[in-house]
Amino acid sequence: MPFDTKKTLFNKLCPLLVLFLFFTGNLFAQKGDMLIYHPIQTDKDGNIIPWYNPDPAIAYDHNLYTIWKFWDTMRRDINGLPYYMNHQVWNASLNDPRGIGGDQFMMTLSAWRLLYAYTGNDKIKENMSFIAGYYLTHGLSPATCKWPDIPFPYNTLIYSGIYDGDMRNGKDITQPDKAGSFGLELIHLYKIKNDPTFLNAAVKIANTLAAKVKTGDEFHSPLPFKVNVFTGKVAFLKLDNRVGKFTDTACYTSNLTPTLQMFTDLIQLGKGNVLTYKIASDKILAWLIKYPIQNNRWGPFFEDVGEWSETQINAMTCARYMMEHPQYFPGWKLQVKSIINWVHTHFDNTSWKKYGVVVTNEQSVYQQPGNSHSARQAADELLYVSLTGDTSFYNNAIRELNWATYPVDIDGKNCFPFDEPWLTDGYGDYVRHYLRAMATYPQLAPAADHILSSTSIIQQADYKGYLKKYLAPAFDKTDTNSVRIFYRTFDNTGVERIRLKAKPSGVLLNDNPLKETAAIEGYTWIALNKGGILAVRRLKGNRVIILE
């Protein structure tokens, strides 16, 4: 892999020099302009490196923990709720007058699921339950309306503790694509917690959306972007400058792959109106293939924009889905590369090109570089590199991740370069992209013990020093002092990739030793310069113990 052939400077330095660099900074680094909170650091060739440490793995890991701590300790508002349950922008001295971001909770749940597996911190899992549980009891449309049982994306009366409309279009307006994203995260949470409350809510969301899915055409997506839950009418008309005529802007969004995945997951579980989900899925998939994947008309995503806007998030979310589900897209390699090139054509920001990096702007009506958007572009391009062997995107992707570390302050607040500390872009839609990058290239994770990915859902992850005997019956037979990691998954089959500081002495699956083998069930070890990568392949079990 490219990362193996081009080691970071940090990995090449002797231990004594590493200690020196910890206090003085990279010996060969140059200090450049300020980028948000930190002076830009570069390697000897003038290319940007992370601000915290010249080793990306150490720097990325540091930011993840710092960001979580900021979120976890965020102050409470006058209504007793954590600040992030009321506002979309952090303000250190005052409460921001705006309510939540339309996708704020969905993105957070998406990121926290990965962060929990990476850290084993139970507070992260409990925060997921709190956010989802509160949203379900304070944010759904009435069961008797035309679009029942789906979440509203905004709290029109900020401190009411109630979510009841849309930021721009007001009360009673919802965004169906965000409902699909929430439904998907509820399924994930059900698989973590085994709580049917989350699954039942996801089924209700899926029932509503599936019943509303249409065939779609060039100017109308299968689900509208914004709709009144009581009247069923789209929110507004707006001139689409791209086609030079009035179109139903609120009738179009391409952010439908989370909804598609929600339907697929429920079909696999055999829950809800499975036949209706299959019909709806086929319509969405056919529309994506016929229209946006061909014409790159990705359309709106953000709740605070009242006009047509092309968005990088819609394009790259679809591109990642295609890479993760190539069975649906026979021509995915060329199509994904076309999407990536389209993003570069429309959203490249060359303001930091002298530091060897091109970063990514948010959307066509707001051509500003974003921390989350740059991290997304980098993580998705790294996935493309790993799947295709096309390394042309690799170097800039790593530097884009490096660049996106600078918006994180030492206390964990995370700010847009020329804007504000958004609680969407700086948290949920930031953390997950670094974890996805680490899952693709485990060398980007520190030489410590971390679960990076699973084809299943990680229900429980306990690391050395935090092992809980009651979670694993195998501990009755195994000395807990010899256990490095215990984890449990939802499915009895799956594959996990785990970054370890050293090769384990063994791996147990449901109390039984696994063989070190490349066969279907077993584990393999790939040694790196520091530690290595453990791959565990399971066929008949969901409880894994990794031994010292």
- Per-residue pLDDT tens for 254-298? 999 999 999 999 999 999 999 999 999 999 999 999 999 999 999
Task: Provide the b/e sequence for 465-484 (b: ≥16 CB within 10 Å).
Answer: eebeeebbebbeebeeeebb
Q: Residue 126 — very low, low, confident or very high, per pLDDT cuts 50/70/90?
A: very high
Torsion of CA 256, 262, 267, 273, to 10 degrees: -90
Residue-level pLDDT at 239:
45
Residue 497 lies in a domain: yes
Beta strands 245-247 and 348-349, pairing class: unpaired
Q: Tell me the C-alpha to C-alpha distance, in Å, between residue 214 and each of 181, 286, 288.
A: 18, 11, 13
Encode 355-380: b = buried (16+ Cβ within 10 Å), e = exposed. bbbbbbbbbbeeeebbbbbbbbbbbb
pLDDT computed for residue 538 by the predictor: 98
Angle between helix 122-138 and helix 196-212 axes, rounded to 10 deg: 50
* Phi, then psi, of 323 in degrees rounded to 5: -70, -30
Residue 83 lies in a domain: no
The predicted model scores a pTM of 0.91
**How does DSSP classify residue 324?**
H
Structure token pair of residue 340:
């990536």
Q: Does pLDDT of 207 surpass 60?
A: yes
181 in any annotated domain: no
Work out the burial of residue 418: count CB atoms within 10 Å of its CB; fewer than 13 is exposed, 13-18 middle, 19 or more buried.
Answer: exposed
pLDDT in tens, 85-121: 999 999 999 999 999 999 999 999 999 999 999 999 9
- pLDDT score, position 464: 85
Indicate the Cα dihedral angle 216, 222, 224, 230, nearest 10°.
Answer: 110
> Given a cut of 60, is residue 469 above it in pLDDT?
no
Number of domains comprising the chain? 2
Can you tell me which residue has the tokens 């680094």? 29
Under the banding of pLDDT at 50, 70 and 90, the label for residue 465 is low
- Percent above pLDDT 90 for the chain: 85
- 242: confidence class by pLDDT, cuts 50, 70, 90: very low
What's the confidence (pLDDT) of residue 22?
35
Per-residue pLDDT, averaged over 408-414, amounts to: 97
Query: Mean pLDDT across the stretch 334-350?
Result: 98
| Tens of pLDDT, residues 32-46 | 699 999 999 999 999
Residue 120 resides in a domain: no
DSSP state string for 261-309: HHHHHHHHHT-S-HHHHHHHHHHHHHHHHHTHHHH-------TT--S--
Would 539 be classed as within a structural domain?
yes
Instruction: Tell me, yes or no, whether 517 lies in a domain.
Output: yes
DSSP code of 238? Answer: E
Q: Where are the beta strands (DSSP E) in 407-505?
A: 450-454, 458-463, 483-489, 494-500
**How many CB atoms lie under 10 A from the CB of residue 326?**
13
pLDDT of residue 467: 58
Domain hosting residue 30, numbered range: 2-49
Over residues 422-445, mean pLDDT: 98
Using pLDDT thresholds of 50, 70 and 90, give the confidence band for residue 250: confident
Token reading at 288: 């994506």
Read off the pLDDT of each residue in 511-525 and give the average, rounded to a whole number.
95
User: Would 390 be classed as within a structural domain?
Assistant: no
For residues 261 and 144, what is the distance between their CA atoms, to the nearest angstrom? 26
pLDDT of 306? 83
Q: Determine what percent of the chain is predicted with pLDDT higher than 70.
A: 89
Cα 486 to Cα 229: distance, rounded to the nearest angstrom: 45
Domain assignment present for 385: no
pLDDT of residue 20: 36
Find the mean pLDDT for residues 502-513. 97
In this prediction, residue 235 has a pLDDT band, given cuts at 50, 70 and 90, of confident
Q: Residue 246 pLDDT more than 50?
A: no
Q: Average pLDDT over the chain, rounded to whole?
A: 91
